[in-house]
Chain A
Amino acid sequence: MESIGNIILYFVVAVIIAVFSAMAVTTRKILRAATYLLFVLLGTAVVYFQLGYEFLGAVQIAVYAGGILVLFVFSILLTQHPADPASVLANHRKFVGGLAAVCAVALLGVAVCKFPLIDGMSLTEAVSIGDLNMKQIGHFLLSSEKFGYLLPFEAISVLLLACIIGGIAIARNK
């Protein structure tokens, strides 16, 4: 049995995610879309916290909500007037996109509901089994032993470096 606070928190976050996702892709003002995306990202971070991954939640807020979203906002401000509404979408376009989304939802929903372990474990049980702290994460992240992630860690650092250079090369004035 979950604590009542957890249940309320879940519903609030689920509604926030669902509503703001939908608004982010339907609003005609692009700066608003970015803002709604921020709410979705924050909601996701809350889910991470609730699932017991505090570090991941922190990263989500810092990198996504803090970093990426700022990039979005900058680029929006660079490329257009923020108040300009986007042109109205053609109906058939909406229909085609909606159809694709509905198909995907239907299929994935069926797949999820039929998944045999879908009602396996409650959140409390799961969190109580897999308790972890920052020390463990740091240990795994820089370990080269089994379940160590040193190699991906280094690889991603190289990737980020390449990305920095690539970003400069692409965006730089000729």
Chain B
Amino acid sequence: MDLTLPILILAIPITMFLILGLFGMKMSHKLAGILGILGMGTTMVLAYTVAFDYFFSGNSLFISGSERLQHTVFDVTWLQFSPRLVVNFGFLLDPICAMMLVVITTISFFVHLYSWGYMEGEKGFQRFYAFLSLFSFSMLGLVVATNIFQMYIFWELVGVSSYLLIGFYYKTPSAVSASKKAFIVTRFADLGMLIGILVLSFYMPTFNFIELTAPGQPQAVLASTGGATFLGGSVLTWALVLIFTGGMGKSAMLPLHIWLPDAMEGPTPVSALIHAATMVVAGVYLVARMFPLYLMEYQALDFITFIGAITALYAAVVACTQVDIKRVLAFSTISQIAFMMVSLGVARPEIHEGLGYMASMFHLFTHAMFKALLFLGAGALIHAVHSNDYTAMGGLRKYMPITHWTFLIGCLAIAGIYPFSGFFSKDEMLSAMYGYSTFWGVWMTFVAGLTAFYMFRLYYLIFWWDENPHYKHHRPHDAPWQMSLPLIILAAVSCVAGFIPFGELITWNGEPYHIHIEWVKVAIPSLCTAVVAILLATVMYRKKNSLPDKAAAIWPGLWRAAHHRFYWDEIYMFITHKIIFNVICSSIAWFDRHIIDGTMDAFAKVTQKTSYTIRGMQSGSIQTYVWWYLMGAVALAAITCWAIL
């Protein structure tokens, strides 16, 4: 395969970052915006070309018989620490990578375009575009990584650009603390990932994904560990769980989810790009990338399933009680990613030929589209009413028809209503879950129902409910074309994406899988759940009434706990401030201040005292110096004479 396109896909965004970052302040907003959009558009076209080539050209590099192959476009040695420890830098093309290229560049392009309208006139407009380009570069580098170390490097770069973008409004204290929180929490999780990588690399001769996941290779690892176990898990299990910890951080799984809701302090396009569509699914991508290894250890997969299921339910419940529309969407994102995680966790070759894997990737794709749509819609709303809270909205359907209809499509898609894209991917995931165990199937169906409920609660509260009296002074209206166009296109994609024959393109082992919808067992029940949930939401929130308050009063404790996100932030605060800071840090600080500083001060004081005492010797009189010098020489000579004679 030609090297130009893959290299350009990485080179254009980083070049854009450098140009906009270095010379942005000299440019007008318009020029910077056009440059960013053109750069990203070119990258998108290139990525489409590469993905199209990969899936449909029939090139023997990419497909042999019916099996899709992993193809290393290039892989150069970057750092060689020792003959065994080599870090490469390359471009790996395989089904999930091609799909991620499409997702990232598409969303990124639309976000670039959208930001042109949304960020218009903001201070630091050029900086914003530079950071967007940096993020796109990092994310693309992450998905094309040929080895786990390259992935780790880009993983951190993604974290940095996310940090920069969350803290874009660096004069707002809440944005600053949110960016710090996001960085520290994900960095903490990445520590686990790094340890996992180190453990894995200790037993593996290579970092390379293809070699790591080659048939037979995982067995070799198992054999090489010699059955060593720790707390009931094999070494490989621990390595995989630790690597998954990094994914938990980035993908906001319990208990490392606390950063994502706060990350909504960033500009809304950023939330759409990073905290809904691309970066937060990096954890899912990581597990999918190393899936053959995970298949060796069902314990690790069970762990993923368990964490995912708990997170999905938790986030869905919390989303039902939030006031800030971006936070609702954030919790919905957490819940949907958890859905993907569960789907990966229950994927087994013997259950529908590993359907869970394909369904997870399918949902990743559709979710990226409709969640980006929802976030961009939320951005348009915020742009119109200048507030994040639904209490400042209501009855907006008449004022903002484009936003209304696209938002509705997004809601229908996420709720899983036929024929919108969410239905298909969610149906496949639920099939996989039912195939694994009925318990998780029912559990996740319930979560899907909750999803439908909270999304339509949000929809009705924004667009129906009661018209806000402020509209008379300040009439909200639809966003400019740069913002509306992405909404319309993404809505169109959300309508039709479900009909993509995803199983033919992406499966865990490259063999095609023919999707068939299990209407009776899975689809009808989940559809019914969703419809009931939507109806419930309609009854409760279509017109202003007191039903919501009554519902909240049924379980006031539960409602309050959910409203406070089950006190996770408070728990973290308690642990960090009360326990870590007070007990551990203050004692360390005491040690530092009194023992270490004290030692240093003592050195300084002794030196000072001594020098004041002996400074009389620096009389400035050469004769005194000579005298001492002479006596010293005489003494030395005397000693020498005495020794010799």
Touch test A–B (CB under 8 Å): yes
Name the distance in Å between A158's Cβ and chain B's nearest Cβ.
28
Is A103 interfacial (CB-CB < 8 Å)?
yes
Which residues of chain A are near B637, meaning CB under 8 Å? 107, 111
- For the complex, give the distance between the alpha carbons of A110 and B631 in Å: 16
| Tally of contact residues, B, Cβ under 8 A | 8
Interface residues of A in 90-123 (CB under 8 A from B): 96-97, 100, 103-104, 107, 110-111, 114
Is B634 interfacial (CB-CB < 8 Å)?
yes
Which residues of chain B are near A100, meaning CB under 8 Å? 627, 630-631, 634
Interface residues of B in 290-338 (CB under 8 A from A): none
Name the distance in Å between B640's Cβ and chain A's nearest Cβ.
9
In the complex the two chains form, is B627's CB within 8 Å of A103's CB? no
Which of A96, A97, A107 contacts B634 (CB under 8 A)? A107
Which of A103, A111, A114 contacts B631 (CB under 8 A)? A103
- For the complex, give the distance between the alpha carbons of A114 and B627 in Å: 26
In the complex the two chains form, is B631's CB within 8 Å of A107's CB? no
In the complex the two chains form, is B638's CB within 8 Å of A107's CB? yes
- For the complex, give the distance between the alpha carbons of A114 and B643 in Å: 13
In the complex the two chains form, is B634's CB within 8 Å of A114's CB? no
- For the complex, give the distance between the alpha carbons of A107 and B631 in Å: 11
Which residues of chain A are near B645, meaning CB under 8 Å? 114
Name the distance in Å between A104's Cβ and chain B's nearest Cβ.
6
Contact with A along B430-449 (1 / 0, CB 8 A): 00000000000000000000
- For the complex, give the distance between the alpha carbons of A96 and B165 in Å: 78
- For the complex, give the distance between the alpha carbons of A111 and B645 in Å: 9
In the complex the two chains form, is B641's CB within 8 Å of A111's CB? yes
Name the distance in Å between A35's Cβ and chain B's nearest Cβ.
24
In the complex the two chains form, is B641's CB within 8 Å of A103's CB? no
- For the complex, give the distance between the alpha carbons of A114 and B641 in Å: 10
In the complex the two chains form, is A110's CB within 8 Å of B641's CB? yes
Contact with A along B607-645 (1 / 0, CB 8 A): 000000000000000000001001100100110010001
In the complex the two chains form, is B627's CB within 8 Å of A104's CB? no
In the complex the two chains form, is B641's CB within 8 Å of A96's CB? no
- For the complex, give the distance between the alpha carbons of A48 and B498 in Å: 117
Name the distance in Å between A33's Cβ and chain B's nearest Cβ.
17
In the complex the two chains form, is A107's CB within 8 Å of B641's CB? yes
Name the distance in Å between B504's Cβ and chain A's nearest Cβ.
91
- For the complex, give the distance between the alpha carbons of A111 and B630 in Å: 16
- For the complex, give the distance between the alpha carbons of A45 and B627 in Å: 30
Which residues of chain B are near A114, meaning CB under 8 Å? 641, 645
- For the complex, give the distance between the alpha carbons of A167 and B634 in Å: 34
- For the complex, give the distance between the alpha carbons of A160 and B627 in Å: 30
Nearest B-chain residue to A108, judged by Cβ: B637
Which residues of chain B are near A97, meaning CB under 8 Å? 627
In the complex the two chains form, is B627's CB within 8 Å of A96's CB? yes
Which residues of chain B are near A96, meaning CB under 8 Å? 627
- For the complex, give the distance between the alpha carbons of A107 and B627 in Å: 15
Interface residues of A in 52-91 (CB under 8 A from B): none
Which residues of chain A are near B641, meaning CB under 8 Å? 107, 110-111, 114
Name the distance in Å between A113's Cβ and chain B's nearest Cβ.
10
- For the complex, give the distance between the alpha carbons of A111 and B639 in Å: 12
**Which B residues lie at the A interface, using CB under 8 A?**
627, 630-631, 634, 637-638, 641, 645
**Which A residues lie at the B interface, using CB under 8 A?**
96-97, 100, 103-104, 107, 110-111, 114
What would 16 more interface pairs be, CB under 8 Å, given A100-B634, A103-B630, A110-B641? A96-B627, A97-B627, A100-B627, A100-B630, A100-B631, A103-B631, A104-B630, A104-B634, A107-B634, A107-B637, A107-B638, A107-B641, A111-B637, A111-B641, A114-B641, A114-B645
20 contacts between A and B (CB under 8 A): A96-B627, A97-B627, A100-B627, A100-B630, A100-B631, A100-B634, A103-B630, A103-B631, A103-B634, A104-B630, A104-B634, A107-B634, A107-B637, A107-B638, A107-B641, A110-B641, A111-B637, A111-B641, A114-B641, A114-B645
Q: What 5 pairs across the A-B complex have the smallest Cβ distances?
A: A103-B634, A100-B630, A107-B634, A107-B638, A107-B637
